[in-house]
Structure 1
Amino acid sequence: MRTFIKLFMITVSCLVLSACNKSDERHTSIRLAHHLDTQHPVHKSLVHMNEVLQQLSGGTMELIIYPSAQVGTEREVLELLQIGSMGMTKVSASSLEAFVPQMKVFSLPYLFNDHAHYWKTLDSDIGRDLLNAGTPFLIKGLGYFDAGSRSFYTTKRKVESPADLNGLKIRVMSSQTAVDMVNTMGGAATPVSWGELYTALQQGIVGGAENNPPSFYYSKHYEVSKYYLLDEHTSIPDVIVIGTKVWDKLKPQEQQWLSQAMHEATEYQKVLWAESTEMSLQKVEEAGVEIITADKTLFQDSVSSIYDSLEGTMLEPLVDSIKAMGESE
């Protein structure tokens, strides 16, 4: 039996409400799990969120953070949120597709004009509506973290154009949209869990993967992948999610404190992310990785059929709204 099951089968609730002193003052602890390293800017930003939350609440609220996949995969933790055995988590928007189909929009290639368009969308009614779309499935988005842009990295074959992806096994997240994108470009999309990816690259089970620079660096995938193509095909945000079983138990004031801490953590994380991206590219280049600047028009042209296939689907009006927002900049 997996460790996380052993741990949480004996945990009655992830929301701990207890009398912490003689005046019976309510103290609320919320358990938060994620799969990233403690040096990752996302983890540091969650630590900052906890510090802000404690300050706002006068020490009556806190987050207890479990990093480095101690509890399980993103999907496993989401399932724990649904039953109330875990309070919060950080997941990629792609991991939410099974619960919130509208989240598929973020996995569409070259959706945003630039970083300003990306954040304009996330901060709009579109972004807020998507955060709340998971409530029927017992999960609620609190806010977004920047996850930059995802690009291809490969072990042995240099990729400079879609033609170079032909037949190459590329690891993708468990997202049908990501699978369709890589296959449309000519590659052979191969879902592999994040924790198994280093070995899969090392053993040649896949010939490459795709992710943002900090994840490429902190995962040490650069040790076995010597080519990094900056094609920046998708910009998929991270989402900080809370289980509705926990959210609904919070008092209105506690919900307000948590929401404010989320907002401040997002602004903090934006700065850390920009610094980390620059540092990561420098570090992997120093380690011998060849960084290649892509001709993005070649990749954009190769996936145009994906947008044609959206006609008449639930994503078509959402894409149109996001595109229109970019045109109004």
Structure 2
Amino acid sequence: MKKILGLMVAVTLIFGGFYYGKAFGQEKQISLKLAHINVIDGMLDKHAKKFAELVALKTKGRVKVDVYPASQLGNMTEMLEGVSMGSINMCLESEGMFLIFDKDYQIFQTPFLVTKEIINKNEFIKQLRERVRAKNNIRVLAGQGWRPPFHLWTQKRGIKTPDELQGIKIRQVQSKVQIDVWNGLGSTSVPIPWGEVYMALAQGVVNGMVHNIVQVYEEKLYEQLNYCTLLDSLMVWQTVLINDKVYAGLSPDLQKAMNESAIEAGNYFTDLASSIEGDARKNVEKAGIKFIQTDRKPWFNKALAAAKKLENEGGWTKGLLKNIGY
């Protein structure tokens, strides 16, 4: 009987890379996979590694987070769906990309309208998080990291006003609100996965994109671009997202350590992103990128008009623009 019990205790629980158990009184390490799409040693990778380091420290080695960078476990959508299904334990991604699960998340991805204050103080986003957790089995850990603001990058010519966007094909993520707003501004939006952007620019599939200076530098995308119009068009925050069943399988003290690690890693990332943005700008300027200052108001007005049209067409629940102050 004792032998049977010993064998039963030694059995390992495997759930999408989730490994935990006790054998002969010895607590075994929990191994978790964390995926992201950024290049190795890019700023998102540093965020992920900092989180893994903090988890190991705070759990005294009881939890080990293995980081899989550079879309090794799939593109953005595949990664999120993997966490939802349990084939991936965790990922580091913009919470706004939950729009693939709940259309109301689109309101927080609207170019030119969303600010840090709206994200930090809006109560509706808490309801959305719970909806996605309950329906799609993904939990948002505490804390967030803010990426540098997004700007417009182009090849053919520098852009100062929305009217000059005619004929410009702009790469976008697979987001209806971002596609519709940028189409409303005058461009032609083309959704392309992040890992394919460099080639799309090189081959002329698109001749522009919208992103932050640091990642354009890290991914060497500036090699295929000539101009950057400074617009602060989008504020993107990223969080550690975990399969809810994996999270529920952790003891309360480990859950606490995971959330504390996510908060500290998010703060680390926000400071890091801010500190390296200036150097990234200098480097792309040296490479030939010309930066353009412009009046943001015409862009904001057109974006708001496009967002109102989208709300009227059922892009998200009626009244959400008013909910965030518009």
Q: Where on the TM-score scale, by shorter chain, does this alignment land: which range? A: 0.7 to 0.9
Matches within 5 A, 1:27-38: 27-38=29-40
Which shows bigger deviation, 93-102 or 315-324? 315-324
* One-letter amino acid matched to 2:155: T
Residues 236-281 of structure 1: per-residue CA shift (max 9 Å, x gap):
3223211112112112221111011111111111100101222211
Corresponding position of 1:320: 322
* One-letter amino acid matched to 2:241: V
> Is this contact kept in 1: 2:308–2:321, CA < 8 A?
no
Q: Secondary structure at the match of 1:133?
A: helix
Q: Secondary structure at the match of 1:198?
A: helix
Quote the Cα distance in structure 2 between the aligned partners of 1:34 and 1:43: 7
Residues 29-78 of structure 1: per-residue CA shift (max 9 Å, x gap):
21101110122222112211111111211111121110111111111112
Between the aligned residues of both structures, percent identity stands at 25
Quote the Cα distance in structure 1 between the aligned partners of 2:297 and 2:121: 28
Quote the Cα distance in structure 2 between the aligned partners of 1:261 and 1:317: 36
Quote the Cα distance in structure 2 between the aligned partners of 1:265 and 1:249: 22
> Is this contact kept in 2: 1:108–1:177, CA < 8 A?
yes
Quote the Cα distance in structure 1 between the aligned partners of 2:82 and 2:206: 30
Corresponding position of 1:62: 64
Quote the Cα distance in structure 2 between the aligned partners of 1:105 and 1:120: 11
* One-letter amino acid matched to 1:133: R
> Is this contact kept in 1: 2:93–2:238, CA < 8 A?
yes
Which of 48, 53, 76 is residue 78 of structure 2 equivalent to?
76
Corresponding position of 1:86: 88
Corresponding position of 2:119: 121
Matches within 5 A, 1:225-304: 225-304=225-304
Structure 1 residue 311: Cα displacement:
5.1
Corresponding position of 2:54: 52
> Is this contact kept in 2: 1:151–1:230, CA < 8 A?
yes
Quote the Cα distance in structure 2 between the aligned partners of 1:165 and 1:71: 35
* Residues 273 and 130 (structure 1), Cα distance of their counterparts in 2 relative to 1, 3 Å cut: farther
Quote the Cα distance in structure 2 between the aligned partners of 1:276 and 1:250: 35
Residues 70-124 of structure 1: per-residue CA shift (max 9 Å, x gap):
1111111122212212100022334321112222112212224xxxx50563365
> Is this contact kept in 2: 1:151–1:233, CA < 8 A?
yes
Q: Secondary structure at the match of 1:68?
A: coil
Quote the Cα distance in structure 1 between the aligned partners of 2:239 and 2:265: 12
Which of 97, 103, 106 is residue 104 of structure 1 equivalent to?
106
Q: Secondary structure at the match of 1:277?
A: helix
Corresponding position of 1:17: 20
> Is this contact kept in 2: 1:94–1:236, CA < 8 A?
yes
TM-score by length of 2: 0.88
Structure 1 residue 212: Cα displacement:
0.9
Quote the Cα distance in structure 2 between the aligned partners of 1:75 and 1:231: 26
Corresponding position of 1:7: none
Rg larger for? 2
> Is this contact kept in 1: 2:36–2:93, CA < 8 A?
yes
Quote the Cα distance in structure 2 between the aligned partners of 1:296 and 1:72: 35
Quote the Cα distance in structure 2 between the aligned partners of 1:225 and 1:78: 29
Quote the Cα distance in structure 1 between the aligned partners of 2:269 and 2:231: 23
Corresponding position of 2:129: 131
Which shows bigger deviation, 152-161 or 181-190? 152-161
Quote the Cα distance in structure 2 between the aligned partners of 1:130 and 1:210: 26
Which shows bigger deviation, 230-239 or 258-267? 230-239
* One-letter amino acid matched to 1:262: A
5+ long unaligned stretches in structure 2: 1-13
5+ long unaligned stretches in structure 1: 1-10, 325-329
* Residues 242 and 12 (structure 1), Cα distance of their counterparts in 2 relative to 1, 3 Å cut: closer
Aligned residues: 309
* One-letter amino acid matched to 1:150: F
Superposed CA RMSD:
2.1
Quote the Cα distance in structure 2 between the aligned partners of 1:102 and 1:148: 24
Q: Secondary structure at the match of 1:274?
A: helix
Q: Secondary structure at the match of 2:31?
A: strand
Quote the Cα distance in structure 2 between the aligned partners of 1:202 and 1:275: 30
* Residues 51 and 234 (structure 1), Cα distance of their counterparts in 2 relative to 1, 3 Å cut: same
